[in-house]
Amino acid sequence: MNNMPAIIVLAPLLGAFFSGLAAWIQKPLSYYIALAATAVSSVAAVGVFKQVLTAGTWQYRMAGWAPPMGIELRIDLLNAMVLVLVSGIAFVNLVASVKNVDQEIPDRASSFYVMYQLFVVGLLGVTATGDLFNLYVLIEITSLTSYTMIALGDKDRSPLAALNYIFIGVIGASFYLLGVGYLYITTGSLNMADVAILLKDIQGSTAVLTAFILCILGVWIKMALFPLHVWLPNAYAYAPVGFARVVAPLMTKVMVYVMVRLMVTVFGLEYIFNTLNLADIVVWLGVIAILAGAFMALLQTDLKKMLTYIIVCEIGYMVGGAWLGNSLGMAGAILHILNDALMTFALFLAVGNIIYMRQQVAFSNLQGLFGAMPWTMAGFVLAGLSIIGVPPTCGFFSKWYLVLGAFEAGAYHFAAALIISSLVCAVLFFKVFEICFFEPMAESHGHHGTAAMAEAPVSMLAALGLVSAAIIGAGVYAGTIVNTVILPFLH
pLDDT band with cut points at 50, 70 and 90 for residue 450: low
pLDDT, average across residues 359-366: 87
- Per the structure, how many domains does the chain have? 1
Residue 309 lies in a domain: yes
**317 contacts 473 by C-beta, under 8 angstroms:** no
Q: 3-class secondary structure for the chain?
A: CCCHHHHHHHHHHHHHHHHHHHHHHCCHHHHHHHHHHHHHHHHHHHHHHHHHHHHCCEEEEHHHCCCCCCCEEEECHHHHHHHHHHHHHHHHHHHHHHHHHHHHCHHHHHHHHHHHHHHHHHHHHHHHECEHHHHHHHHHHHHHHHHHHHHCCCCCCHHHHHHHHHHHHHHHHHHHHHHHHHHHHHHCCCEHHHHHHHHCCCCCCHHHHHHHHHHHHHHHHHHCCCCCCCCHHHHHHHCCHHHHHHHHHHHHHHHHHHHHHHHHHHHCHHHHHHHCCCHHHHHHHHHHHHHHHHHHHHCCCEHHHHHHHHHHHHHHHHHHHHCCCCHHHHHHHHHHHHHHHHHHHHHHHHHHHHHHHHCCCEHHHCCCHHHHCHHHHHHHHHHHHHHHCCCCCHHHHHHHHHHHHHHHHCCHHHHHHHHHHHHHHHHHHHHHHHHHHCCCECCCCCCECCCCCCCCCHHHHHHHHHHHHHHHHHHHCHHHHHHHHHHHHHC
pLDDT band with cut points at 50, 70 and 90 for residue 451: low
**49 contacts 80 by C-beta, under 8 angstroms:** yes
Mean pLDDT, the chain, whole residue set: 90
pLDDT, average across residues 255-265: 94
- Compute the C-alpha angle 421/424/427, nearest 5°: 155
Peptide bond into 392 cis (omega under 30): yes
What is d(CA 412, CA 205) in angstroms, rounded to the nearest whole number?
A: 33
Residue 368 lies in a domain: yes
pLDDT, average across residues 376-398: 93
Residue 474 lies in a domain: yes
pLDDT band with cut points at 50, 70 and 90 for residue 1: low
pLDDT tens profile 456-486: 899 999 999 999 999 999 999 999 999 999 9
pLDDT band with cut points at 50, 70 and 90 for residue 24: confident
Residue 195 lies in a domain: no
DSSP lists the bridge partners of residue 191 as: 131
Residue 20 lies in a domain: no
The range of the structural domain enclosing residue 427 comes to 277-440+452-490
Residue 290 lies in a domain: yes
pLDDT tens profile 182-203: 999 999 888 998 999 998 888 8
pLDDT at 162: 83
pLDDT, average across residues 124-132: 93
pLDDT, average across residues 262-288: 91
pLDDT at 28: 83
pLDDT at 166: 87
For residue 243, pLDDT over 80 is answered with yes
Between the alpha carbon of residue 303 and those of residues 245, 363, 380, the distances in Å are 14, 6, 11
Phi, psi of 191 (to 5 degrees): -75, 130
pLDDT, average across residues 299-315: 92
Residue 189 lies in a domain: no
**295 contacts 424 by C-beta, under 8 angstroms:** yes
**397 contacts 339 by C-beta, under 8 angstroms:** yes
pLDDT, average across residues 22-46: 92
Residue 429 lies in a domain: yes
With a pLDDT cut of 70, the percent of the chain lying above it is 97
For residue 80, pLDDT over 90 is answered with yes
pLDDT band with cut points at 50, 70 and 90 for residue 23: confident
pLDDT at 441: 60
Which of 428, 150, 205 is CA-nearest to residue 296?
A: 428
With a pLDDT cut of 90, the percent of the chain lying above it is 64
pLDDT band with cut points at 50, 70 and 90 for residue 150: confident
What is d(CA 120, CA 258) in angstroms, rounded to the nearest whole number?
A: 16
**130 contacts 73 by C-beta, under 8 angstroms:** yes
pLDDT, average across residues 133-154: 88
For residue 410, pLDDT over 70 is answered with yes
pLDDT at 321: 94
